[in-house]
Chains A and B, each alone.
Chain A
Amino acid sequence: MTASARSRPRFAGALLLGVPALALLLFFVHPLATVLWRSVTDADGALTLANFMRLSDDPGLPRAAWHSVAIGLATTACTVPIGLVVAMALHRSRLRGKRLIRGVLVLPMLAPSLVLGLGLVCLLGHNGLVHRLTGLPTDIYGFWGLLLANTMYGLPQATIIVSAALARTPARHYDAATSMGATDWRQFVDVTLPRLRFALLAAAFLVFTETLTDFGSAVVVGGGYRVLAMEIYSEVVGQLDFAMGATLGVLLLAPALLSVWLGRMAKRRQDSGDASPGRPLVPAHDLRRDTLLGAVTWIALLPVIAVVATVAYVSLVKLWPYDRALTLANYMAGMPDGYGPVATSLGVSLLAACVGTPMVFALAAGLRRAPVAVARPVQFLASLPAAVPGMVLGLGYVLTFNHGPLSPWLYGSALLVAACSLYHYHAQSFLTMQTGMRQAPEALEDAVLVFGGETRHVLRDAILPFAAPAAVSTFFYLFMRSLVTLSGVIFLVTPELGLASVTVMRLDENGFLAQAAAYAMCVVLAGGLALGAMRLLLHLIKDRRHVA
């Protein structure tokens, strides 16, 4: 009797870890392995390096690789310093309107990345608003347009990372520096910057990876400046050359993996810093500093506002760019598929969030007591998706699930699209959940077990009260990311299963900019509502709960 009684909680614990780990293998490792396998085999399945040899046959491919790296480096070089300034403005100034700055920063995250490109084209394209109004010859397509779009897209993320590090720097370091007579500039150089080193590195790696693997901006404003993501798309969708697509995918995967790995190393070093932030810093009055920070911040944010405003405006125009009479027609009857794709997108995102949150919760909870030999590889796999471009994962899904034993159930289903979104954004959701769960003291788990509780009681009474805010954040993170993702799902849509982000892209390709803008605004609106709901929910939880 004792043996079976002892094994019951272990069995539940194994189930907790086993189900999400199995799903991770099936829906992440398996497709990824398929892409890798496909890149080194020929049509008969024999091992070969011929695919990689073919890369140099087309002079366009090495050039696209170079373009990807160039735009990645340029974007990183622009975004990180601006991100630093904006974060400083938020945390080290007495600037008014910080709420507004935060609000503007949220905008790029609410929309698919191609919406920023769409706005840029409407504003500064051949037939853009600026050209129409002033007659100046404008041409945003190519390197500069991509740089601008990617910088706008990366800026909020870079700012968030740097802000977190700034918020962690305790005020006592500044007090000490002041008491020793250090000027503000010296304090910035000697106290602030050293503590930001790893945050800046992490931000740089993140922006570089995002830009390198971005598809949305490239397809809209890239024009003749072809990047790798575009080439993969052409190979797969245009020429149905899956082997070549997979090979290019592997090519894209390598630098992304390297960058994420370096970023992880940087983050690990930084985590050994101050554990307790102590009293928060209140910046002193300094008009010159605030003016400077404010000016740079608003100059950097102006394009974001202009671009989003342009999209909003274009969505209300009768026939862009020829007849700019205002109308709601694009929202009423103008959408070719009605609100279908928006509804599908919402449904898929809801599915990803509803399935994903419990999965990630179970995985993080299961890992708490798992032996190191199990925990380490699972931890690695769960955070690996951060390094895998959505396009590579999506290609893996096509190669894996269009044929094979699971395809009758999965091919063309909303579940598959939801799974792709979930595992594309798995790393961030998992790490959020794990961090939240770390607040649950182990003593509480022990208490439940000693007083006669089972695994489910441990989850409900010892872990959930602490992990609830993380669970809410994870839910909405998955929902909002799934709503806007394009690169992951671009290969998975079928005529019956249209998604909003893909529809925006198709409409843009065909020149229906006003309708594309209307769809985009629907997504932005839905994302904004979700964000509001999340804030409200977190606030309510915080009010109700007694977790210290």
Chain B
Amino acid sequence: MHLRIDDIAKSWGGHTVLDHVSFNAGENEFVCLLGPSGCGKTTLLRLVAGLTAPDAGRIVLGGRDITEVPARERRMGLVFQAYSLFPDMTAAANVGYPMRLRRDPPAKIAARSSELLERVGLGGLGARFPDELSGGQQQRVALARALATEPAMLLLDEPLSALDPAIRGQLRTEIRSLQRALGIPTIMVTHDQEEALAMADTIVCMNHGRIEQTGSPRDLYERPRTRFVAEFIGRANLFPTSFVRDALPGFLERRPPGTDATYELCLRPEDVAIAADARGDGVVEDTTFLGNLARVTLAWRGRRVVVEVSGRDALTRGQTVSVDALRGAWVCA
């Protein structure tokens, strides 16, 4: 089903949380709402779920305006960050809960619960209570429960944030393949850019209640349109126009028109090539060995530049290097 968020505004006690936000989520699409805490992404998700009402704007699902439809009639499957399982119900009872509210026949509930638990890799654990399950297992139960009533959409509110890094990575892949297999449109809220890059078809990057940029992960990484996106997703070296004119004049021709202050050049760390060169004008200030990579901080023409090179390239502090920029993108300052 297709979801359209149309010019949604929401404020709380005079504080603007969402400032006329619009985006679309297509059929079968996995959309990530990405942004720092307080950017309005969770509020946006709650609006889609029907847990909060917008001050203005419309929410259209599959051609039907659902702005005024209460949460329980929207048929959304919701997974929260943590602590959303009923503590005194077993895993199977938790999964069956939405179906019990719909008064489905018990036999059908039991069959579907165990099928869903099987599907999320918890077959045979249906009789366990939430406090007898690990954090990752609890989130799988929550996922199964969200899918129980064949929802129109899946809404995930930071579902992995409370988990250990190892489990997080594993569950990331599983959620994504489950979503693909079921072909269910999904919106996930996250503040973890790596998670968004790894999972999303489309990232909606938000800041201060506004959408900074919408696009595919590759789009946002390689062609950030604003300084915020450049800095929030991945690492970025940002250079003002005057500096570029001096040091990297080749980039000037692709610069959009505007005063010096409107645009900055963004160079990703891997887009800068360096080579040991006794006559180079860069000086290695610091290196951090990361295994496959080494992150090198340079002093170059009065600026500090972060560069990533292969971990095998041995560079030492104080060494002089030559510097060359391979690719770059102009962003709104």
Contact = CB atoms under 8 A, between A and B. Distances in A.
Nearest to A7: B70
Given A446-B78, A450-B49, A451-B101, A461 B72 contact: no
Contacts of B183: none
Given A443-B82, A443-B83, A546-B88, A451 B129 contact: no
A453 B101 contact: yes
Nearest to B130: A546
A449 to B, nearest CB: 5
B76 to A, nearest CB: 6
A548 B70 CA distance: 31
Nearest to A10: B70
A547 interface: yes
A279 interface: no
Interface string B120-158: 000000000111100000000000010011000000000
Interface in B52-76: 68-74, 76
B84 A5 contact: no
Given A446-B49, A461-B86, A465-B87, A2 B102 contact: no
B82 A450 contact: no
A267 B278 CA distance: 68
Contact of A548 (B68, B87, B98): B87
A547 B87 contact: yes
A9 interface: yes
Nearest to B49: A450
A344 B64 CA distance: 62
B88 A465 contact: yes
Nearest to B83: A441
Contacts of B74: 450
Interface in B66-124: 68-74, 76-78, 80-89, 97-98, 101-102
Contact of A546 (B71, B83, B102, B129): B129
A99 interface: no
Interface range for B: 35 or more
A16 B130 CA distance: 29
B185 interface: no
Contacts of B77: 450
Which of A5, A546, A548 has most chain B Cβ within 10 Å? A546
B232 to A, nearest CB: 26
Contacts of A5: 69-70, 73
Given A443-B83, A548-B87, A450 B70 contact: no
Nearest to B80: A443
Which of A443, A452, A544, A546 has most chain B Cβ within 10 Å? A452
A446 B131 CA distance: 20
Interface string A61-76: 0000000000000000
A141 B88 CA distance: 56
A406 interface: no
Interface in A428-466: 441, 443-444, 446-447, 449-454, 457, 461-462, 465-466
B153 to A, nearest CB: 11
B50 interface: yes
Given A2-B69, A5-B69, A9-B70, A451 B149 contact: yes
Given A443-B81, A446-B80, A546-B130, A451 B72 contact: yes
A461 B97 contact: yes
B51 interface: yes
Contact of B131 (A8, A444, A548): A548
Contact of A451 (B82, B83, B89, B98): B98
A477 B52 CA distance: 37
A3 B68 contact: yes
Contact of B72 (A443, A453, A544, A547): A453
A545 interface: yes
Interface in A1-52: 2-3, 5-6, 8-9
Contacts of A441: 83-84
A330 B333 CA distance: 91
Contacts of A548: 87, 131
A447 B80 contact: yes
11 contacts: A2-B68, A5-B73, A6-B70, A446-B51, A449-B71, A450-B49, A450-B51, A461-B97, A462-B86, A546-B131, A547-B88
Given A443-B83, A452-B102, A546-B87, 15 more contacts: A2-B70, A3-B68, A5-B70, A446-B51, A446-B71, A446-B80, A447-B84, A450-B72, A454-B72, A465-B86, A545-B87, A546-B129, A546-B130, A546-B132, A548-B131
